[in-house]
Amino acid sequence: MSTDNFSISDIELAARLRTVALDAARQAAPILRDAFRHGVERENKTNAHDLVTAFDRQSEQIIGEHLLAAEPDSWVLGEEGGSTGNGSIQWIVDPIDGTSNFTHGVAFFCISIAAARDGVLLAAVVLDPIARLEFTADAQHAYLDGRIIAPSPRPAQSHANIMTDYPSAEALVTDGDLALETFGSWVSAFATVRRKVSAALALAHVAAGWCDATIGFDTKPWDVSAGALLVRRAGGRFQGFSYDGRDRPAHEAPCFMALGPGAEYPVLEASVQRILAARKVAWHAK
């Protein structure tokens, strides 16, 4: 099924899934809002840079139960709980994208929910509980608080602002000096480079026109799926990249680049190719 050739029934399904996902996110948002900056206890999931809280788990449970009840022919892929349910519709859920920000009192985190069928994204929600912003998308449009987001051309590279969490501590180990050289090239090429620690919310800001581009490596589907659809429906470009030889949908690839409408940023394109080339060599050497 092509993302550019939806049937009427596909369009209707996507609109309904968007509503279901938004309702689910709205149920979890007050819990996160109330807990924020109130001494949230955190645990290391894989390391000190990868955190989890009881609110991640609680939020995912609330969201998952609502999604499965509203759409019985579906299953949930959650960051914390793995796979639950069975059906033709896949929900891809990150209950708190930006847990590190959430636990440290930084107001840049979100709930991210995407719906897909046969690898094709149909609907998306990225809800910012602190700013109370609701970014959504269906088969036709991207929306901010229910209003259609109109494509807005982005500035030239030297006047653009980008968001990225690269290089992470893990990327410094993997990519070595190339990681720091790459980050330095971005600082020199763009007006600003911001590190926001939430890929989903960064993508939503690209869709809204508040950020011109974002790029990430070593991401998971729950980090980018909802944001990928937002960017595309807002007239931008989302690309996924792989270095392990696997053919997969863009939102399932481990690396991504997203650009606002009309954006052409050669330094980002070149950076992706250099990093992927180095990682492909390392991957094939294993």
One DSSP character per residue, 98-116 reads: THHHHHHT-S--EEEEEEE
Tell me: do 58 and 137 sit in the same domain: yes
- Asked, for residue 3, whether it belongs to a domain, the answer is no
Which residue, of 102, 129, 148, is where some domain finishes?
Answer: 148
Tell me: do 110 and 161 sit in the same domain: no
* Neighbour order of strands in the sheet with 192-194: 192-194, 161-164, 213-217, 255-259, 237-241
60 is known to lie in a ligand binding site: no
pLDDT digits (tens, 9 = 90+) for 127-153: 999 999 999 999 999 999 999 999 889
Q: 194: Cβ–Cβ under 8 A, 6 or more apart, which residues?
A: 161, 162, 163, 164, 211
Tell me: do 127 and 187 sit in the same domain: no
The length of the chain, given as a count of residues? 286
Domain count within the chain: 2
Q: 111: Cβ–Cβ under 8 A, 6 or more apart, which residues?
A: 25, 28, 29, 32, 59, 63, 94, 95, 96, 97, 125, 126, 127, 129
Cα–Cα nearest to 137, from 129, 148, 128: 148
- Asked, for residue 85, whether it belongs to a domain, the answer is yes
175 is known to lie in a ligand binding site: no
Regions of the chain with pLDDT less than 70: 1-4, 42-51, 286
50 is known to lie in a ligand binding site: no
DSSP 251: G
Pairing assessment for the beta strands 133-137 and 74-78 based on DSSP bridges: unpaired
261 φ/ψ angles, rounded to the nearest 5 degrees: -55, 130
| Per-residue pLDDT, 25 | 98
pLDDT digits (tens, 9 = 90+) for 106-116: 999 999 999 99
| Per-residue pLDDT, 256 | 97
Tell me: do 12 and 136 sit in the same domain: yes
Tell me: do 124 and 217 sit in the same domain: no
97 is known to lie in a ligand binding site: yes
pLDDT digits (tens, 9 = 90+) for 30-76: 999 999 998 777 665 665 555 678 899 999 999 999 999 999 999 99
| Per-residue pLDDT, 47 | 54
79 is known to lie in a ligand binding site: yes
| Per-residue pLDDT, 1 | 34
Tell me: do 77 and 165 sit in the same domain: no
| Per-residue pLDDT, 89 | 98
Which residue, of 148, 172, 191, is where some domain finishes?
Answer: 148
At 231 the three-state DSSP class reads helix
Tell me: do 129 and 201 sit in the same domain: no
Amino acid at 90: Q
Range of the domain at 166: 157-285
